[in-house]
Structure 1
Amino acid sequence: MQKQEVIQQLINAYSEAYQNLGHSSLMGKIVALLLTSPKPLSLDEISENLQMSKGPISQISRKLKDHRLIERVWVPGERKDYYQAVPDIFGQAFRNYASSMKRNLAIAEHFTSVLEQMDSADEQIQHFANRMHEMGVFYKAMNEQNKVFLEEWENSIKPEISYEKLNAG
């Protein structure tokens, strides 16, 4: 298999994965392209590689930057904006995911509190309260597991990974 074919397959896989998570398929394409590039890429280079116009690339790049998955970098002698995947992109993606789970817990806690103040004899209120309680228990457990995983990632897994090891292997 040729290098470009493998890169295109990764771009397609990331595009589909991001779309399955409810994100823009273009987000996945940009992330995949930047994962494959040993050097930062300009918006023009990203557009050219993905065969898309620069407008949507710029817009989605800003969103990815806001999510801290990519970063704008300065390239000496260049006036254009260049982008690269952040060094810990996979850890950051998980932190983003964990943050959404914390928001789900906050939703459950809020509505559990609200429902406690309502008529508990009402069948729908009882059902709603039970579901919010279940949701709260679920997301509390999930948040604890996410915390354990992130600590393990930061303290033992990530430090063992280095580009030198990857390049030597």
Structure 2
Amino acid sequence: MEDNESLDRSRKIVIDAIAQNMHLYGITPSAGRLYGLLFFSDKPLTLDEMKEELGMSKTSMSNSVRSLLDLNMVEKVWVKGERKDLYTIKEDWYQCFFDYFTIKWRTAITTNSSAMGKSLNKLQELIADPETSEDIREQALKDVNKLKDRMDYYDWQDRLIDSFETKEILNFVPIKKND
């Protein structure tokens, strides 16, 4: 019995840490506890099994699973003879990181680049308008330069994300340390 309690305590340390840091992924600590449960499970689990183990409502459990599915951290699996949906973690943590990183960062870059592109167009119109005062034109030119510099940054980030998607990044930072 004491061994079982020690095992549970050691697992709880990891599960609590995962739950605490899930905000980095934009999801709730309860999704982190769910992920930790699936991590230590030797078999895929149903929503009912997860609900029973964690004491969460079915709605909360379903939302947590959906969040983890959207981030490609868990997957639905099929088991012969089982009628309920079963879930397990994706074992390739490197791919999970690549997926998460590319999904989240690509969205942010697209949103910011689009807004800055629109702003650049408006600023160019303002600069070209003969009615614009010299003072406003100077400020607009400064803004254009700032935005162009930032667009270069977003281009660099976009290429970095491409290297994650193609796994070219592994040529520079291999999974295994070189001795």
| TM-score interval, smaller chain | 0.7 to 0.9
Count of aligned pairs between the two proteins: 158
| In 2, Cα distance between equivalents of 1:103 and 1:27 | 22
Structure 1 runs not aligned, ≥5 long: 161-169
Q: Tell me the percent identity.
A: 25
Aligned counterpart in structure 1 of residue 119 of structure 2, from 96, 101, 115: 115
Q: In the alignment, residue 29 of structure 1 is paired with which amino acid?
A: R
Q: Does 1:91 align with 2:95?
A: yes
Task: Give the aligned partner of residue 162 of structure 2.
Answer: 147
The structure with the larger Rg is 2
State the superposition RMSD in angstroms. Answer: 2.9
User: Deviation string for 1:59-100 (max 9, x for gaps)?
Assistant: 221232233221111223322221101232441233222232
Match of residue 84 from structure 2: 80
Distance in 2, Cα, partners of 1:29 & 1:80 = 21
Q: Taking structure 1 as reference, are residues 112 and 9 closer, same or farther at Cα in structure 2, changes over 3 Å only?
A: same
Alignment of 1:1-169 (within 5 A): 2-117=6-121, 118=123, 119-120=126-127, 121=137, 123=139, 125-126=140-141, 128-149=143-164, 151-152=167-168
Cα gap change, 1:140 to 1:6, in 2 (>3 Å) = farther
Amino acid at match of 2:6: Q
- SS of 2:52's equivalent in the other structure is helix
Which residue in 1 is equivalent to 2:134? none
Q: Shift of residue 21 of structure 1?
A: 4.2
Distance in structure 2 (CA, Å) of the matches to 1:77 and 1:87 = 24
63-72 vs 147-156, greater mean Cα deviation: 147-156
Deviation of residue 111 (structure 1)?
2.9
Deviates more, 1:39-48 or 1:126-135: 126-135
Change (3 A) 1:115 1:54: closer
TM normalised by structure 2 equals: 0.70
TM-score (norm 1): 0.74
